[in-house]
């Protein structure tokens, strides 16, 4: 991996900054050095990336493999509600669904987490007590991220205090796109610190980064800064999660672990609505990063309507016929 040190950066001017893991300790010494590093990552050929996911999309997942994939996908869902109209009642109903996605079939696995705004984290925490289901809260002025650092950190501390054990932050896309990569890095480090023990998912909002080269750079940036997960999108911007984006992120976490020994998770979010989409993602995880990522500890789906389609397909596998939308609960 090429990286260039900026010889003009005087040692004294280096702010006290959390160092990235070896062998990348020196890449954040200056904005120029960090930029050179991120732009020195191998490029991504969009046509080639799309062709690769196209071929992976033709994998035929049937019978036992399909059953495994559906249950695994259910266990990876971050069941999400992020509306201005959210209420404690809505969150409690979602929590009930998370615990028991299919009331008619107790063998259905639980989902991984419930994802809400920070002010409702307490309601979710209470409703999920004793289940092992995580409470994820979006923070840092989600979804735009347009607020001062202090406000964002306060947002994070508040969500953690309310009971969130996972924080989904957004990066400052404005800073990233204007080349202030170190600002983005420092902010992630600060948020990670504010999280305490809570897991940090870093939302790249790939729909605003646009190019796959940017997706790769932002993924590396977030991992170097200490993010536990990298996440595609807020779900408020279109396009949200796409397979080529997920491919590039899976390549990034795979390469990052090979280089540093640290494993980082991936969460595509927004736009994944069908079992077919979910299975395509699992195939991609399996064949690009490998089976080590095939667990809710390392891969999540940020979704709401996806769960019902997974449940319908699960019922179909069990009973041999399709039921209808009235056979799964409305959230």
Partner 1 sequence: MSTQTPPTHSLFEYAPAPESRSIVDIAPSYGLFVDGEFVDGSGTPLKTVNPATEEVLSEVPTATDADVDRAVRAARRAFTRVWGPMRPADRGKYLFRIARLLQERAREFAVLESLDNGKPIRESRDVDVPLAAAHFFYHAGWADKLDWAGLGPGPRPLGVAGQVIPWNFPLLMLAWKVAPALATGNTVVLKPAETTPLTALLFAEVCRQADLPPGVVNIVTGAGETGRAVVEHEDVDKVAFTGSTEVGRSIARSVAGTRKRLTLELGGKAANIVFDDAPIDQAVEGIVQGIFFNQGHVCCAGSRLLVQESVHEEVIASLQRRIGTLRLGDPLDKNTDIGAINSAEQLARIRELSDIGEAEGANRWQPACELPERGYWFPPTVFTDVSPAHRIARDEVFGPVLSVLTFRTPDEAVAKANNTTYGLSAGIWTEKGSRILAIADRLRAGVVWANTFNKFDPTSPFGGYKQSGYGHEGGRHGLAAYLEGGQ
Cα–Cα distances in Å, from 52 out to 47, 213, 215, 275, 288? 9, 16, 17, 20, 10
* Contact footprint for partner 1 (CB under 8 A): 42-45, 47-49, 51-52, 55, 58-66, 68-69, 72, 251, 282-283, 286-287, 291, 294
User: Rounded CA gap, 95 and 135, in Å?
Assistant: 10
CB 244, min distance to partner 1, A: 11
- In whole angstroms, how close is the CB of 241 to partner 1 at the nearest point? 19
Q: From 207, 194, 202, 173, select the one nearest 267 (Cα to Cα).
A: 202
Minimum CB distance to partner 1, residue 258 (Å): 8
| Shortest distance, position 220 Cβ to partner 1, whole Å | 14
User: In this complex, which beta carbon is closest to partner 1, that of residue 115 or of residue 282?
Assistant: 282
For the annotated catalytic residues, the residue numbers are 168, 231, 267
If the CB atoms of residues 60 and 107 are measured against partner 1, the closer one turns out to be: 60
In angstroms, how far apart are the furthest CA atoms of the chain?
70
Q: Return d(Cα 109, Cα 191) in angstroms, integer.
A: 32
Q: Is residue 315 within 8 Å of 281, Cβ to Cβ? A: no
Q: Please give the order of strands across the beta sheet that includes 265-267.
A: 265-267, 229-231, 199-203, 166-170, 134-138, 113-117, 77-80, 301-303
């Amino acid at each position: 991996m090429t990286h260039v040190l900026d010889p003009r950066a005087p040692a004294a001017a280096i702010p006290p900054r959390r160092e990235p893991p070896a062998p990348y300790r020196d890449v954040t010494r200056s904005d120029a050095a960090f930029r050179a590093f991120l732009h020195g990552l191998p490029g991504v050929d969009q046509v080639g990336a799309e062709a690769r996911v196209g071929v992976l999309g033709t994998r035929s997942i049937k019978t036992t493999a399909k059953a495994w994939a559906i249950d695994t996908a259910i266990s990876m869902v971050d069941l999400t509600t992020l509306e201005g109209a959210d209420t404690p009642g809505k969150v409690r109903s979602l929590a009930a669904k998370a615990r028991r996605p299919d009331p008619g079939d107790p063998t259905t696995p639980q989902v991984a987490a419930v994802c809400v705004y920070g002010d409702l984290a307490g309601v979710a925490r209470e409703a999920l007590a004793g289940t092992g289901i995580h409470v994820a809260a979006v923070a840092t002025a989600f979804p735009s991220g347009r607020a001062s650092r202090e406000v964002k950190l306060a947002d994070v501390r508040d969500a953690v205090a309310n009971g969130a054990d996972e924080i989904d932050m957004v990066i400052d896309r404005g800073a990233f796109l204007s080349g202030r990569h170190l600002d983005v890095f420092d902010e992630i480090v600060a948020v990670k610190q504010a999280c305490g023990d809570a897991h940090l998912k870093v939302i790249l909002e790939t729909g605003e980064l646009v190019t796959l080269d940017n997706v790769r750079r932002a993924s590396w940036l977030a991992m170097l800064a200490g993010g536990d997960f990298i996440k595609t999108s807020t779900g408020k911007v279109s396009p949200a999660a796409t397979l080529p984006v997920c491919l590039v992120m899976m390549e990034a976490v795979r390469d990052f672990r090979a280089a540093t020994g640290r494993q980082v998770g991936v969460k595509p979010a927004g736009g994944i609505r069908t079992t077919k989409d979910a299975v395509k993602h699992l195939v991609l995880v399996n064949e690009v990063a490998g089976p080590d990522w095939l667990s809710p500890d390392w891969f999540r789906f940020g979704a709401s309507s996806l769960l019902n389609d997974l449940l319908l397909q699960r019922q179909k596998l069990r009973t041999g016929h399709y039921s209808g939308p009235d056979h799964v609960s409305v959230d």
